[in-house]
């Protein structure tokens, strides 16, 4: 079961479960369990497999979570990384809907439409968490949220904010616009610099594929498009960095607004 969840997106979707590896991610999963069940881990963590002892094991056992000890060799066979960290957990997926990313008084949402690199996706989620965004929406064509590399790249942020796995980008964007969320697309061909946009009202930052950018049909649904000025010689920034630059401009504007 563990190998199938690590290797196959289809298995993760069918079982509605995923695997996190390493003491930090396992502890983050436990903390999320506490938050979701008001002080008890409940049944969000199915079980834990470990090859060496970590402080988090005692907390897991106190919550009645099954923890299975295996040899280092057995763990290496289960692990999805070259240098196993000695502990993993099978975690139940917690589904979110668009209503969950709109709970904030002034929502700031990231919509990923076709982001393919798991490291970029993890960076986007981690940055959205860092700036206090209200959630992330992943549309069809985006890499699996529970891809092991994507999970590691979030550094636990996958457990800190709502992440919605939507179907069609047009449907998700249409629903956001109905809720008066302004769609601001990141597009290298845009005429407006990213810092000239207004992020102080409810808005969603729309980002696309690393190489192709946003589909024309999806881009046409945005209320406006912005580019990141690059006076140097670099041709482009990857989508993870680009999203971070825009999100921190949104954070700066919102902090300025609170001061006035």
Determine the pLDDT at residue 42.
Answer: 55
Quote the pTM value.
Answer: 0.94
- For residue 257, name the pLDDT band (cuts at 50, 70, 90): confident
What's the topology of domain 2-92? 60s Ribosomal Protein L30; Chain: A; (3.30.1330)
CATH class of the domain whose range is 98-259: alpha beta
Q: 186, 194, 180, 195: which is closest to 256 by C-alpha?
A: 195
Quote the pLDDT of residue 247.
98
Best-predicted range by mean pLDDT among 35-44, 133-142, 251-260? 133-142
Task: Name the average pLDDT for the chain.
Answer: 94
Cα separation, 131 vs 248, in Å, equals 7
What DSSP string describes 177-235? HHTTPEEEEE-TT-SEEGGGS--SSSEEEEE-BTTTBS-HHHHTTSSEEEE----SS--
Averaged pLDDT, 158-180: 97
pLDDT, tens only, 139-159: 999 999 999 999 999 999 999
**pLDDT tens sequence across 46-92:** 999 999 999 999 999 998 899 999 999 999 999 988 899 999 999 99
Reading phi first (left if > 0) and then psi (alpha if -120 to 50, else beta), residue 141 is in: left
So where are the chain's domains?
2-92, 98-259
């Amino acid at each position: 079961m563990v190998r199938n969840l690590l290797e196959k997106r289809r298995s993760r979707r069918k079982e509605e479960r995923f695997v996190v590896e390493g003491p930090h991610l396992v502890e983050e999963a436990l903390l999320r369990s506490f938050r979701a069940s008001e002080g008890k881990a409940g049944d969000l963590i199915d079980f834990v497999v470990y090859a060496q002892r970590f402080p988090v094991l005692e907390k897991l056992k106190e919550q009645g979570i099954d923890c299975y000890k295996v040899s280092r060799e057995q763990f290496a066979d289960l692990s999805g990384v070259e240098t196993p960290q000695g502990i993993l957990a099978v975690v139940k997926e917690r589904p979110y809907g668009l209503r969950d990313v709109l709970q904030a008084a002034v929502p700031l949402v990231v919509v990923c439409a076709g982001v393919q690199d798991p490291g970029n996706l993890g960076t986007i989620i981690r940055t959205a968490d860092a700036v206090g965004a209200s959630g992330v929406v992943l549309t069809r064509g985006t890499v699996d949220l529970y891809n092991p590399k994507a999970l590691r790249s979030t550094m636990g942020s996958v457990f800190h904010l709502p992440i919605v796995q939507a179907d069609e980008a047009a449907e998700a964007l249409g629903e956001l616009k109905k809720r008066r969320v302004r769609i601001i697309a990141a597009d290298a061909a845009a005429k407006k610099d990213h810092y000239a946009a207004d992020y102080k009202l409810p808005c969603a930052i729309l980002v696309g594929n690393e190489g192709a950018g946003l589909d024309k049909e999806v881009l046409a649904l945005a209320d406006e498009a912005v580019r990141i000025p690059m006076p140097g010689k670099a041709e482009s920034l990857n989508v993870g960095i680009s999203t971070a630059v825009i999100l921190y401009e949104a954070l700066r504007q919102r902090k300025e607004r609170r001061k006035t």
